[in-house]
Structure 1
Amino acid sequence: MTNSLASRFPELAAQLDPVLNGEITGHHLVPGSDRKVWWRCIVDVSHAWQATIANRINAGSGCPDCAVTGYKPNLPGFIYLLTRGDSTIQRKLGITNVPKRRLTTHTRNGWTVLEVSPAFDGAEARRVENGFFALLASRGVRQQRADIVDRFDGYTETWAYDHLPIDSLAEVYVLIGWQPKELDPHQIPLPTETNPES
């Protein structure tokens, strides 16, 4: 295929995880695809993550564990639920390592905090977020690019309340079948405001 990821972006194709992707190689994939595949970090080969090909190319995203900014799954994670309403009430679910800073940004943008979880294992918090977004997508209620004229920060984490009325994180956990296990703050240090966040 002349338009393959391997032919157009060989350095990116080299980062495809050969084990987790099975038979799929850069020769089978097309740049700009929304297909999620596994990637292997070029800095630390113990880091693997899933991302769409389009995200890697268009956003220039790399290994989330090595990123200077953004959510760090190796740190404690917090799940938050936000609301805002103009003509329609919206809900937003997200994760962060530093709630105070992340939620300050959201409140400046018109969101109201409904709930913030206690500290969870960061990778587990990401699984909750991904599981819930998969549920939104399966029900056809997750916001898509075509749904929103003014794409705000985290618009794909948003849904219309009348399509899925959720008022608490406990409802989210029940919907995805997850049992929360809080971290003991004495065993794992919580991130400080100087740590990178999402």
Structure 2
Amino acid sequence: MTQRVVITGASAGVGRAVALAYAARGARLALLARGAAGLAAAERDCRRLGAAEVRTCQVDVADAGAVQRAAAAAGRGPRAAGRGPRELNVGGRTCRARLGNVLFPGLLDRKLARDGYDSQQTDAPIDRATWRDNPDRPGDDEQDRGAEGVFTDRARRHSAALWVSAHKPAVSALTLGGLLVAAGGLARRLR
């Protein structure tokens, strides 16, 4: 069965990269984004890469109702095929973050304050005459910006954490097998 994937923010950045990756796998895609030019280019690129189907919807994710309607139209609404949606959280699992906050309150906040701020900021001066704030109008409404941005030169092509997350059963089996071998070796040594 062909995967059906709804991707928000699909016109640029991480959303665009995720859309292209699923397109290359032949998935059926519903691309949601605000920027018209970026959305049209993302649709074209996904079709070129071999997506089984590509639907687009120009929608602002700040409007929850509009997103629900767009997802339902794409066939992945709350009651679609009697199955719940699958989600890919880019940037870390929510349950891990919550558990970390319970066990080590404030630690994640301090880490983000130290690392996150520096990784998302630039020393380049802002030209106030040409600077536009993205929440008011999408940056790719008139011109396609693709999946790349100001941090592209620091991005990595592969992620060990993502690979482990995508291959949990195999990693779990290998870990369990390694622990059993280690326990067996320790038991023989203690005899």
- Regarding TM over 0.5, the answer is no
Whichever structure has more helix as a proportion of its residues is 2
Higher strand share: 1
TM-score, normalised to structure 1, is 0.24
Structure showing greater radius of gyration is 2
